[in-house]
Structure 1
Amino acid sequence: MEMRGVADPADEVLVVVDENDNVTGSARRGEVYARGLRHRCVFIEARDAEGRVFVHRRTPDKLVFPSRYDMFVGGVVAAGESYDDAALREAQEELGVSGLPRPVPLFKFLFDDGAGRTWWSAVYEVRCTTPVDPQREEVAWHDFLTDEELARRTTEWEWVPDGLDAYARLRAFRAAE
């Protein structure tokens, strides 16, 4: 199925991994989600020239967590792709920019929603000093928020659960630095 010239996301082939993040195979995204297969994702905190965080609301037709807010850009790691390459690809695609510096890796963790959905998550940061033009298929609304406003909004808006988990871990990571 084609959507505005873009292949159906359910057909994208993802890397499948074990509990230690070792590659065990690959499968189409639709199958990965339907069978609850462990896979890899990247979360990139994008800040503008003033240090504000890019925040967006996902489109209502997203396969996972539609219409929820997220303080990260990112997505799944494709079969044959590294975390680092996925982070750069996803950041440039979602922000709608080219020539972005390579995102800086910070840490990894295993996200588990308690309902059979788990994925290895690599968290990155990047500075985007050029104007953004977010991908319409991914982003319904966006803005750059200060750290204080973002912290306040986490209790007011409906957020993607994996993003909230990554955000809490990122705050703890930075507090320990």
Structure 2
Amino acid sequence: MMEQREHMLLDQVDGRDRPVGHIRRADIFKKRANFRVAHILLFSPDGRLLLQKIAPTHNRHPGYWGSSVAGYVKAGESYENAARRKLQEELGIEDIPLKRLGKISMLDEGAKKFIVIFTATYGGALQPNPEDFAALEFVSLNQFQAKKVKRRFTPTFEHVLQYLFDKLPAAKGG
């Protein structure tokens, strides 16, 4: 499955997130090509945020903690469709309301990464895909704000989390 992911075709985008061509996922960082990802911050009904510990088999940030769900946007795919695809692939969740929190960007190994962040609330059973996750944990936002959550986070999740806190209290919901 990992090899298939590396051959996934993505939209290469310009500095303003406009498609300019296609590129294989495996070539993004070699060519420093701008690209798109979707992140979903999944909240429990009582307001706790689901964190994922990335599986040790992943080539980027294995063992680090990150967004509830995150993934590359395939060529021709919308950010929302990518978010829905990843929710289903990684957690077995389908057809839940997503709220678009916003769009940010950051440099990632010389490439500009455009990140659209969605939030959702979900109280059902999770079916985590072991290829994606080493662990899952719900954490209260108060624990983050009090700096009581001690984990190694991916650089992207740190960026996403800062954006979330800048947007509170409007961030939660779904």
TM-score using structure 1 length: 0.87
**Cα distance in 1 for residues equivalent to 2:46 and 2:59:** 32
Q: Residue 164 of structure 1: which of 158, 163, 172 is its match?
A: 158
- Alignment-mate amino acid for residue 70 of structure 2: G
Q: Secondary structure at the match of 1:46?
A: strand
Q: CA deviation at 1:106?
A: 1.4
Within a 5 Å distance, the mapping from 1:33-52 to structure 2 comes to 33-52=29-48
Q: Secondary structure at the match of 1:8?
A: helix
**Cα distance in 2 for residues equivalent to 1:110 and 1:89:** 21
Q: Which residue of 1 aligns with 2:84?
A: 88
- Alignment-mate amino acid for residue 83 of structure 1: Y
Q: Residue 106 of structure 1: which of 58, 81, 101 is its match?
A: 101
Is 1:53 the counterpart of 2:52? The answer is no
- Residues 72-91 of structure 1, C-alpha deviations (whole Å, 9 max, x = no match): 31111000100111111112
Q: Which residue of 2 aligns with 1:128?
A: 122
Unmatched runs of 5 consecutive residues or more in structure 1: none
- Alignment-mate amino acid for residue 149 of structure 1: Q
Q: Secondary structure at the match of 2:168?
A: helix
- Alignment-mate amino acid for residue 29 of structure 2: Y
Q: CA deviation at 1:35?
A: 1.6
**Cα distance in 2 for residues equivalent to 1:70 and 1:80:** 25
Q: Which residue of 2 aligns with 1:62?
A: 58
Q: CA deviation at 1:165?
A: 0.4
RMSD value over aligned CA atoms?
A: 1.9
Q: Secondary structure at the match of 2:53?
A: strand
TM-score using structure 2 length: 0.89
**Kindly tell me: are residues 24 and 143 of structure 1, through their superposed partners in 2, closer, same or farther at Cα, counting changes over 3 Å?**
same
What is the count of residue pairs matched by the alignment? Answer: 170
Is 1:143 the counterpart of 2:150? The answer is no
